[in-house]
Structure 1
């Protein structure tokens, strides 16, 4: 079918060329260097018949064409040329570039009306298959479900259904794939497409651990394929069935046969399929403990992927190849080589995962990535010969690359939206407004309809976003380590293992140290400590303060080894249930906040990915607040005084509930002001967390606001709490603001005491005005509070719930101007003088 499409495109372009009576000399090869710019006829000829001219560098080729279509003919040639570039890039295994060019063709075709151009067939079908290749399965499912519903029953539908089934399979929904394919196969007559469906069905059953049915349908597929003369795509499908047979029967013979067919028929293309066949063969050898043969096959797969000079190849199958090389070297006790390939696999996986736009697929990959980190740490721990300073740095680097991948993706996307096309900005606005309607709705039926509409809008938005053209992720290991090692701050990175043991990597004297805590009860005991002292009541501390101090001192020694008093700023990269523990309330000679300023991060990589670092001018405060609520929510009595304090002392734009409409909130977020929000937070186990201002604003809605603030202060309860996310922290209000490229967020872990919250908030802004450092200002506010607090209020339950998350940026603060007060005073003084003068004049006249 793909070959049929290829020739259809070519002949369509040829007909247009003949029809327009424009001649092209095809007897001479076209050399790009001879043309400062080329004609549309040249472009069509090269993209169709000379892929060697652009495969290595398609962007450079396209830029040298200088083509700007001006009429229907040129639009058609240009659109088909982009499709052919995308097709040939895919044929040569350049998945990432192929996606870019299919998306470019899609957006061009949407803008320009092109006769007889089937977007679904020529672009969306192959594009969705490529999304599956990079594990962005949710996006592929959305596109394909829409296409299947809109297509008439015909031969083309088979390919769409098969692609949809594969998207379900790799999205861990094998049962949906089985149901879809089983119904489709019954309706199909004998054909290569039926064979392909059998093969996909075999894969679905294999993923469901149903080996018997998997073997049965794989054999059906091979038997069906062998009824036909196979060429191009059908031959590739047949080879896929052979490699699946090899895996199911643990037989290298069929894998070798598939490799031979691919090498013979596709001498200069289909590198990814060749690599995949070598991967299947390598896994068979590895399971047989034939590590030499496994290493050779993994190396062959590696060579097929790396057709260029780039170290990274954005394809999860390439990551599997690197991982296979690491495991093979590990099995042969070549620990240095194994460590080298584990690091490479983690780096490649980080880059490849950033191609995924759907949250669900990101989180699934986070879980899989954790298994690589487990193997890497195990390799280091069990091999003293590699216990070097450089290898501990590698461990830290890899662990930090494994965290906050979804958050980094969201930061990158959000950053691109601000400079995107009007079409993308309009899409952002539409999605946000629908979430606004969803947050305001109380009807379940209405919510269901809105969610369906949002899902469709997101598909259109994802396709128009051109994310694959804008993505830019190049974290530098040297830059990362230089930041950690070459300053006086303390950095602690935590990794919770699947068995609940704990690894801690931290900097000490320009080196990285590793502390491994093999006690598998440590995490449970920390959770119990957190629940006991930082829940709904301060009474457990008050009943026995010394018991708390003993425990806090014990956990301080465990979690913060070799913390020096000179290291005033402490940055913590947390993991799992360590989120929510107030480290500044741990204890040594006194509470740690007495000597240290604490910052919490999802990953130290955020230092490089958060770009909105510093406010160059002193900022105003945009104040969004609400104090009165319907029952059962209590009123927030401290809010009125908080508003008064802020508006009196600082330049503040106060926005009360009646004025909190969409336009005022949007304007407040867009300004480069400090954002201060004093309101209830609503947490729900099912619904997304939301801020309860005049209307509810959920985390879903917040993601689609344009936010430019250098600092957010969330003066509300539980703004740092939420549903745990794998390797991402919690799905909290605080995290959403971080995802919007906000470098400093102050939030709360538990219920806030009104009086103390008011004290700390007021003190924080006073300190911020002096230091211009939110991290230091919050710690100073807590220190000042503790100096004056009674013994009972020294209880961390009162003051440790407020925490700082961020990278330690600078933020200036504008004072409230006294000029209006002075003018008012002078006016009043003048009026008093005037009336006094009038009264005296009148008195004098009477006396005369």
Structure 2
């Protein structure tokens, strides 16, 4: 009995380690997964079934890691464990067939990846055969999971007809109404649902049809490939909505990026050949689906909650998400330790699972009892080209420039209310290195220390302007630009691009894009439209400025970043806030009053929030981006769950518009977190800014804003006026170009609160004084005739 108890304990421990390996594999941590599975295999007196589960897990992990030889070498131990299990009392024929099917599938994939096609074909066939014995119906997704890699193998061998047969068979397995014989037909979109098999089938078909187009140039092949990609993007959206955690959504988006690039190439080729605007519309749809859709869906959820859920349920949902973020933070910390505590990880994973269940329950409750919330959260779709052009009619003289970047090509949309120009700009070499070079010139004054450096700066800026903005000369009467950058272009302030420069090597003689255009930015056309239409601003007070005090630092050129462990004192941030307050009115939170608690409690009351402080952009862990207050910092994760009612948030700190570039989404910055929390307009920085010049620029900005200027025009005028008065050394773009405005550009009504209240008070006082005067007069002169007009 003692031995049996010991065996059961080991089997339970092995199961825990297997569960942990699944978590590791889901995070692409295959070495850690192999380590815990190897530990599990070393446990004594395991049941044959437990050994089988561990060996299956090891084979799958080796496959994830790309160690195909390791998968193939596990065949012997697996079959030995299977034979041992067959003679045990707990053997189950159907369960055994399921394990055998899954293992032969894994083995077949490893064989075809190593060029052993005949052996792979045998094992794929065995996998299908075992699945047939294990499952009563052929419409079980496990069949489709075998068909997909079987088709992939044939596609790799250019056996396209066989490949399409199995891709279509996989589709038919999970959508029985889909035609299994006509490879050119895709399922009706009304039958789509969140299922990876559908996505993988469509991807496979798209790839095969593109390859077939290369062989004989039939447009039918390319059109079918693009049709597959467009349907796949609908399935993407459905799948993304099933994930509760932003990290999962972002990882999913990154995997989708290659699909979008292939689809864009197909749409461009079809548009170039046919000039059919349907393909232009498709191209824009693809571009929009590759930008900040996780942010858009999160913003949509926040707004839906505010509109349709009671405060108590909003708080419950918010607290669950905060708990989940805390657990994810703890998991990251534990996994980064040199010596991990496996059981601590298991406990955290179990807590994560429990909260996931609670989130699932509350989502179901909302669906049943608050259908309006559920409907509103499902409405986050990408803006179409026609919708974007319709929105631009309200912004005459405006051109939206949207980038989509692939490996060696940038696709650009120049969109006005009545015109769209679609261009494909190829480049040789590495465009990322050119952008990085120019950004260095902008962000580091010391990078331009000679005439040669200056000429290189001017040449690089002119090159970028000519390549991406010279098309503007083809468009008439354009004064405003809305730039939607993509990939590394998002790190550039485009107003700093050089139109022409003096041969004397002087910044004073440089003509920038800033001189010719009013420039704003947007994360995507969809988010831009949302920002211009969002009117749910409850804030009444005009302005709140936060300027924390930090430790003393005698450095005259303090930067508002936190690259060092200690935070330098910002000598000019309180002066900045006080000056703005003198211009606008409102409230200041200075020094020890600039606490996180004051911000969290009072931020929702103001139309304008201005944070003059330190900030950190974390290029590895986006959730760790943070902005500092006098008592502590607030991370992006915390900001997501605020309700920001402000019409404008100015992040007057370093790198508030930069961060990790997340493929398929965009830059994971602090500014993104504020948009997520509901702010339609952000002023943010793209590098570590100078304390003193930042204060000067901000004072000019708010003066223009108070005078009724649009936000983008106010920032442009502030920069131009700064350049008019700056000395030669401070003409460098480092001092003025870091801050950009993103989102809604409409002016802010400054005087409504301030003067309406003043007029009411004054009017009431005059009324009382007049009333008292009349009473006194009446007492002295009771005759009514006294008041008659002659």
Q: Which runs of 5+ in 2 are unaligned?
A: 1-6, 112-116, 178-187, 214-220, 332-336, 367-373, 501-510, 554-565, 766-790
Specify the alignment match of 1:717 in structure 2: 654
Measure the CA separation in 2 of the matches of 1:435 and 1:190: 34
Query: Please, which of 399, 413, 416 is the counterpart of residue 490 of structure 1?
Result: 399
Specify the alignment match of 1:839 in structure 2: none
Q: Secondary structure at the match of 1:629?
A: coil
- The answer to whether 1:394 aligns with 2:279 is no
Change (3 A) 1:297 1:696: same
Measure the CA separation in 1 of the matches of 2:325 and 2:592: 21
Specify the alignment match of 2:781 in structure 1: none
Change (3 A) 1:295 1:535: same
C-alpha contact 1:670 1:707 (8 A) present in aligned 2: yes
User: What RMSD in Å do the two structures reach over aligned CA positions?
Assistant: 4.2
- The answer to whether 1:690 aligns with 2:626 is yes
- The answer to whether 1:174 aligns with 2:111 is no
Measure the CA separation in 2 of the matches of 1:341 and 1:435: 35
C-alpha contact 2:680 2:744 (8 A) present in aligned 1: yes
- The answer to whether 1:629 aligns with 2:534 is no
Moved more, 815-824 or 633-642: 815-824
C-alpha contact 1:611 1:741 (8 A) present in aligned 2: no
Specify the alignment match of 2:788 in structure 1: none
Change (3 A) 1:173 1:752: closer
Specify the alignment match of 2:508 in structure 1: none
- The answer to whether 1:275 aligns with 2:144 is yes
Query: Please, which of 604, 613, 623 is the counterpart of residue 525 of structure 2?
Result: 604
Specify the alignment match of 2:503 in structure 1: none
Change (3 A) 1:784 1:435: farther
C-alpha contact 2:613 2:628 (8 A) present in aligned 1: yes
C-alpha contact 2:548 2:595 (8 A) present in aligned 1: no
Specify the alignment match of 2:205 in structure 1: 325
Change (3 A) 1:515 1:485: farther
Compute the displacement of 1:622 (Å).
1.9
Measure the CA separation in 2 of the matches of 1:220 and 1:785: 74
Q: Secondary structure at the match of 1:560?
A: helix
Measure the CA separation in 2 of the matches of 1:174 and 1:611: 45
Compute the displacement of 1:262 (Å).
4.0
User: Cα deviations across residues 397-450 of structure 1 (Å, max 9, x unaligned)?
Assistant: 223312324434543565567644543344456689999999xxxxx99xx9xx
Compute the displacement of 1:301 (Å).
0.8
C-alpha contact 1:215 1:248 (8 A) present in aligned 2: yes
Change (3 A) 1:661 1:616: closer
Specify the alignment match of 2:589 in structure 1: 655
User: Cα deviations across residues 620-656 of structure 1 (Å, max 9, x unaligned)?
Assistant: 2122112553347554333333333332332412222
C-alpha contact 2:160 2:208 (8 A) present in aligned 1: yes
C-alpha contact 1:279 1:321 (8 A) present in aligned 2: yes
Q: Secondary structure at the match of 1:244?
A: helix
Q: Secondary structure at the match of 2:168?
A: helix
Measure the CA separation in 1 of the matches of 2:17 and 2:570: 55
Q: Secondary structure at the match of 1:505?
A: strand
User: Cα deviations across residues 232-283 of structure 1 (Å, max 9, x unaligned)?
Assistant: 5443333222322332333334434443554566455762212112213212
Measure the CA separation in 2 of the matches of 1:357 and 1:431: 10
- The answer to whether 1:745 aligns with 2:682 is yes
C-alpha contact 2:138 2:173 (8 A) present in aligned 1: no
- The answer to whether 1:503 aligns with 2:411 is yes
C-alpha contact 1:575 1:727 (8 A) present in aligned 2: no
Q: Secondary structure at the match of 2:683?
A: strand
Query: Please, which of 551, 561, 569 is the counterpart of residue 480 of structure 2?
Result: 569
Measure the CA separation in 2 of the matches of 1:242 and 1:436: 38
- The answer to whether 1:517 aligns with 2:426 is yes
Specify the alignment match of 1:534 in structure 2: 443
Moved more, 625-634 or 316-325: 625-634
Measure the CA separation in 2 of the matches of 1:281 and 1:770: 67
Measure the CA separation in 2 of the matches of 1:537 and 1:821: 53
Compute the displacement of 1:341 (Å).
1.0
Compute the displacement of 1:548 (Å).
4.9
Specify the alignment match of 2:252 in structure 1: 365
Measure the CA separation in 2 of the matches of 1:319 and 1:651: 55
Q: Secondary structure at the match of 2:428?
A: coil
C-alpha contact 2:63 2:106 (8 A) present in aligned 1: no
Change (3 A) 1:580 1:479: closer
Change (3 A) 1:312 1:570: farther
Measure the CA separation in 1 of the matches of 2:110 and 2:320: 46
- The answer to whether 1:411 aligns with 2:333 is no
Report how many residues are paired.
665
C-alpha contact 1:380 1:386 (8 A) present in aligned 2: no
Measure the CA separation in 2 of the matches of 1:645 and 1:200: 64
Q: Secondary structure at the match of 1:674?
A: strand
User: Cα deviations across residues 95-151 of structure 1 (Å, max 9, x unaligned)?
Assistant: xxxxxxxxxxxxxxxxxxxxxxxxxxxxxxxxxxxxxxxxxxxxxxxxxxxxxxxx9
Specify the alignment match of 2:598 in structure 1: 664
Specify the alignment match of 1:766 in structure 2: 703
Specify the alignment match of 1:196 in structure 2: 53
Query: Please, which of 77, 81, 98 is the counterpart of residue 236 of structure 1?
Result: 98
Specify the alignment match of 2:223 in structure 1: 336
C-alpha contact 1:196 1:221 (8 A) present in aligned 2: no
Specify the alignment match of 1:214 in structure 2: 71
Compute the displacement of 1:304 (Å).
1.8
Specify the alignment match of 1:798 in structure 2: 735
Compute the displacement of 1:530 (Å).
1.7
C-alpha contact 1:602 1:728 (8 A) present in aligned 2: no
Specify the alignment match of 2:165 in structure 1: 296
Query: Please, which of 153, 156, 159 is the counterpart of residue 9 of structure 2?
Result: 153
User: Cα deviations across residues 652-702 of structure 1 (Å, max 9, x unaligned)?
Assistant: 122223334454221223335321111122456678343232123142443
Compute the displacement of 1:773 (Å).
3.7
Moved more, 407-416 or 190-199: 407-416
Measure the CA separation in 2 of the matches of 1:596 and 1:684: 32
Compute the displacement of 1:535 (Å).
1.9
Query: Please, which of 424, 427, 435 is the counterpart of residue 317 of structure 2?
Result: 424
C-alpha contact 2:532 2:744 (8 A) present in aligned 1: no
Specify the alignment match of 2:114 in structure 1: none
Q: Secondary structure at the match of 1:175?
A: helix
Specify the alignment match of 1:79 in structure 2: none
Q: Secondary structure at the match of 1:344?
A: helix
Measure the CA separation in 2 of the matches of 1:259 and 1:553: 60
Specify the alignment match of 2:217 in structure 1: none
Moved more, 467-476 or 278-287: 467-476
Moved more, 669-678 or 754-763: 754-763
Measure the CA separation in 1 of the matches of 2:27 and 2:410: 30
Specify the alignment match of 1:675 in structure 2: 609
C-alpha contact 2:291 2:523 (8 A) present in aligned 1: yes
C-alpha contact 1:748 1:801 (8 A) present in aligned 2: yes
Change (3 A) 1:517 1:723: same
Q: Which runs of 5+ in 1 are unaligned?
A: 1-150, 439-443, 828-848
Q: Secondary structure at the match of 1:708?
A: coil
Q: Secondary structure at the match of 2:74?
A: helix
